[in-house]
Structure formats: C-alpha cells, structure tokens
C-alpha cells in the first residue's frame, strides 16, 4: 500500500474514533422514561389518594414525561401500615402516608405529622414554616436515617385537616360520657384517648365501617367531611362531633427510598420537590370546598347530627398530651429535640399570628350569620353550639 493510501486510511480511522467519542460537555441523549413504583396507605376511593394521583400527574408534566409515578393504593403491594419498611427495603420506591403510623418505632414520629395540637397551636402554614424555615426538614430526614436507621427521605404533601373529633352512635355531653367506649383511633392519639378513659382499636380506614356494622367499635375517628362521607360513616353513625385537637393541622408525607432519590437527576429531584409543594396547596383548597359540600349532604341526605365537641374533652386532651409529651421528652432525647424546636418556632409565630389575624368567625358571622338548622337533628346541633 502506498504512503498516500496509508495516510487516507489513518485519517478515516481517526475520524471514526471522533464520531464514537463525544467531546466533553456535549449534550447526551436523554435516557428513556423512568417509573417509580409507590404505594399509599389509603383506599383507592379516598380523597387522600386523589392527592397522591395529583402529585403523580404534576411530576409527569414537570419532567416532560421522563419521570412517572405509579401511584398505587393501599394493599396493592403491601398492607397499608407496611409502606415505610417496604420503602426502606426497596420493595417499593416510595410511599404516601402519615408519619404518626410509625409511633411503634418511635413516638417522635407523630411530631412530623403536626400532631397533636398543632403542635403548640400551629396551623398548617405554621407547620410548613417550621419544616422549611425552622429546620424541620433536616430533623425529619435525620429521624428516618439516623434515629430509625431507615434508608428513606421525606417531604410534606398532604394537609388533611383540621380533622373532626369523630362519630358516635349516641350523643356525648362531656368527658365522662365517652369513658369506656371502644373507638377506632391510631398513632399516639390512641394513647392519649386511653389516658382519658377511652378503649381504642387501631385499624386501617377500610375496616372502620364493617367494624361499626358488626358492633366491634362504638365510635370512630377518620378524617371528617368528604373523606368520612366517601367512607360511608354517615350510614353507620348518627352523631358527628367537631372540632378535634388531635389533628387540627395534620400533614401527611411523601417518602422515597434514599438510594432511589440519589439516583435521580437534579432536575427530577427539583420536580418532585415542586410537585409536592404544589400538591399540598392545590389539593387542599379543593378539599376544603369538598368538605363544605359533604357537610351539607350529611345533614340533608343522611340526617347526620353535627355537634360541637364539648370543651372539657378538648381541654382534657391537651392536658393528657402535655403529660405524655413531657414523659417522652424525659426518656427520648430526639423526641425532646424535635419538640423543643417546634415549641421555639411556635413561640414566635403563633402569638404573633393570633395578634395579626382577626378571628375567623368575626367576618364569617357578619356575612353568614348562622341560620336555624332545618335538617333532622338541627335543633340539637343549634342548642349544642349555643352552649
């Protein structure tokens, strides 16, 4: 072969190599769409599951279809109360639940659900302020990874409150009235009510109505409003009491396996953060309207008697919680660390907000004075509200 041809072949080979090796910083072709398999702790028909589905839709759109969330309902892979361990073990990539379900592992879990009592009177926005402006998110991740040794991270996503006190087969006039009653409760709230004299039974939402029909429980707490209507509680209970101090500003969580999270591109991580925050707000405002419509339907269609929770029950609840929180703080340093952080944040925000914000009832009563209820049981409701 002549020298000229050797030169031509050398140039062609070199060009081929250049074509195979992309220069540094060149745009790489996008990988195919990725799907994360996640499961919730909620029945498929629950509005709480709607929150999860909305999140999945937003992630899909924010990533132009490159990241998809398979938003499964409770039981589709593991039982409702096993999603945390399943996420840690990577049986699923993530979950949609509420942290107070994990109080069996540590009572500090309830504090990341904004329960009980706010804490310290905080509402949803105050709690979100603590999470993002008061160091709460760092403590949340430390709780799972350092305290529980679980390979997960978490974000707030589900503001399902304020929640109602509960459903009863008969009226309750005071604290003494519900002592000895067997009621569905979960998390640390069950322990508080036990301290107040109630017998408590822990069960997923899907088991409440069948248990009520069989007489296994005398009363039940689920969520309130549209959730309780969808679950069928007005068909098995007549008396509905609100408000409650057990979950006035409840916040559910999105949890993701930490290795799955780290493997996501930075843009997709930001899409998840943004989608979780948007879901928190967008679902919540829709949910409040649904709750208002549900209350009207309960009264007019099902004859539900909606009554104010006796104040002595609410005060007794706060006192019982304060006692349990003090006991737990004395033996659990991390519980104390989180509670002290929340107290410090609430000490600044809650009193100032009380000063700046007018009582909700002030303008509400001016524009929408309470009319005499016409639904069945309305007189009882009106009489209770005057007390």
- String of DSSP letters for 226-267: HHHHHHTGGGT-SEEEE--SSSTT--EEEEEEHHHHHHS-HH
With bands split at pLDDT 50, 70 and 90, how would you rate the model's confidence at 31? low
Mean pLDDT computed over 284-289? 96
What does the DSSP assignment read for 292-314?
Answer: HHHHHHHHHHS--EEEEPPHHHH
pLDDT attached to residue 179: 85
What confidence category does residue 177 fall into, taking pLDDT thresholds of 50, 70 and 90? Answer: confident
Instruction: Give, to the nearest 10 degrees, the angle between helix 266-301 and helix 47-62.
Output: 150
* pLDDT per residue as tens digits for the range 328-381: 999 999 999 999 999 999 999 999 999 999 999 999 999 999 766 444 444 444
DSSP for 18-82 reads HHHSPPTTPPPPPPPPEEEEEEESS-TTSHHHHHHHHHHHHHHHHTTTSEEEEEEPTTSSS-GGG
Task: Compute the average pLDDT of residues 70-94.
Answer: 97
Residue 326, pLDDT above cutoff 90? yes
On the question of pLDDT at 293 being above 60, the answer is: yes
Q: What is the mean pLDDT of residues 143-153?
A: 98
User: For residue 238, what are the contacts with CB-CB under 8 A and spacing of at least 6?
Assistant: 168, 169, 303, 304, 305, 377
CB half-sphere exposure, 208, CA atoms < 13 A: 30
Q: What share of the chain is helix, strand, coil (3-state, %, to 5)?
A: 55, 15, 35
| Per-residue model confidence as pLDDT tens digits over 93-110 | 999 999 999 999 999 999
Average pLDDT over residues 246-257: 95
Whether the CB-CB separation of 227 and 50 falls below 8 Å is answered with: no
Burial zone of 17 (CB within 10 Å; 0-12 exposed, 13-18 middle, 19+ buried): exposed
Tokens 């000490």 belong to which residue? 347
Supply the mean pLDDT for the chain: 88
For the stretch 207-247, pLDDT in tens is 999 999 999 999 999 999 999 999 999 999 999 999 999 99
Put residue 330 in one of left, alpha, beta given phi > 0 → left and psi -120 to 50 → alpha.
Answer: alpha
Residue 5's pLDDT is 44
Confidence band, pLDDT 50/70/90 cuts, at residue 26: very low
Sequence-distant (≥ 6) Cβ neighbours of residue 304 within 8 angstroms = 234, 238, 239, 240, 298, 375, 377
Q: Which two tokens stand for residue 191?
A: 């322990």
CB-based contact 91:260 (threshold 8 Å): no
Answer yes or no: is pLDDT of 9 > 60.
no
pLDDT at 186: 82
pLDDT for 372:
62
In angstroms, the CA 44 to CA 108 distance is 29
pLDDT of 16 above 50: no
Cα–Cα distance between 271 and 317 in angstroms, integer?
Answer: 40
pLDDT of residue 375: 42
Find the helix or strand (DSSP H, E) in which 272 lies.
helix 266-301
* Tens-digit pLDDT profile for residues 108-134: 999 999 989 999 999 999 999 999 999
Q: In this structure, what are the phi and psi dihedrals at residue 237, rounded to the nearest 5 degrees?
A: -130, 150
- Cα separation, 124 vs 118, in Å, equals 8
Average pLDDT of the segment spanning 40-68: 96
pLDDT at 384 over 60: no
Q: How far apart are CA 105 and CA 108, in angstroms?
A: 9
Q: What share of the chain in percent tops pLDDT 70?
A: 88
Give kind and range of the element (H or E) at residue 125: helix 124-133
């Amino acid at each position: 072969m002549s020298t000229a041809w050797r030169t031509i072949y050398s140039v062609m080979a070199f060009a081929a190599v250049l074509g195979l090796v992309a220069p540094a910083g060149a745009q790489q072709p996008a990988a195919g769409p990725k799907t994360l398999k996640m499961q919730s702790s909620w029945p498929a028909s629950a509005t709480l599951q709607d929150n999860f589905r909305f999140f999945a839709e937003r992630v899909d759109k924010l990533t132009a279809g490159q990241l998809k969330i398979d938003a499964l309902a409770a039981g589709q892979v593991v039982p409702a109360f096993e999603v945390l361990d399943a996420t840690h073990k990577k049986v699923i990539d993530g979950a949609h639940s509420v942290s107070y379900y994990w109080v069996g592992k540590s009572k500090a879990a309830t504090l990341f659900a904004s329960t009980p009592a706010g804490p310290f009177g905080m509402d949803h926005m105050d709690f979100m302020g603590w999470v993002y402006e008061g160091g709460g998110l760092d403590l949340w991740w430390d709780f799972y990874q350092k305290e529980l040794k679980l390979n997960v991270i978490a974000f707030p996503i589900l503001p399902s409150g304020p929640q109602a006190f509960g459903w009863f087969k008969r009226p309750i006039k005071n604290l003494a009235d519900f002592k000895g009653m067997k009621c569905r409760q979960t998390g640390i709230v069950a322990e508080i009510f036990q301290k107040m004299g109630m017998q408590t039974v822990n069960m997923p939402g899907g088991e409440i109505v069948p248990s009520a029909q069989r007489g296994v429980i005398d009363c039940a707490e689920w969520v309130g409003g549209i959730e309780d209507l969808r679950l069928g509680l007005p068909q098995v209970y007549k008396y509905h009491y609100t408000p409650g101090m057990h979950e006035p500003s409840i916040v559910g969580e999105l949890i993701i396996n930490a290795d799955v999270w780290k493997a996501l591109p930075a843009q997709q991580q930001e899409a998840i953060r943004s989608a979780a925050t948007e879901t928190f707000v967008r679902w919540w405002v829709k949910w409040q309207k649904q709750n208002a419509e549900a209350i009207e339907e309960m009264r007019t269609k099902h004859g539900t008697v909606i009554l104010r929770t006796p104040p002595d029950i609410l005060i007794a609840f706060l006192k019982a919680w304060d006692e349990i929180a003090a006991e737990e703080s004395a033996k659990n340093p991390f519980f104390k660390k989180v509670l002290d952080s929340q107290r410090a944040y609430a000490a600044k925000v809650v009193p100032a907000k009380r000063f700046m914000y007018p009582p909700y009832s002030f303008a509400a009563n001016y524009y929408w004075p309470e009319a005499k209820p016409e639904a069945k049981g309305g007189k009882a409701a009106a009489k209770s509200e005057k007390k």
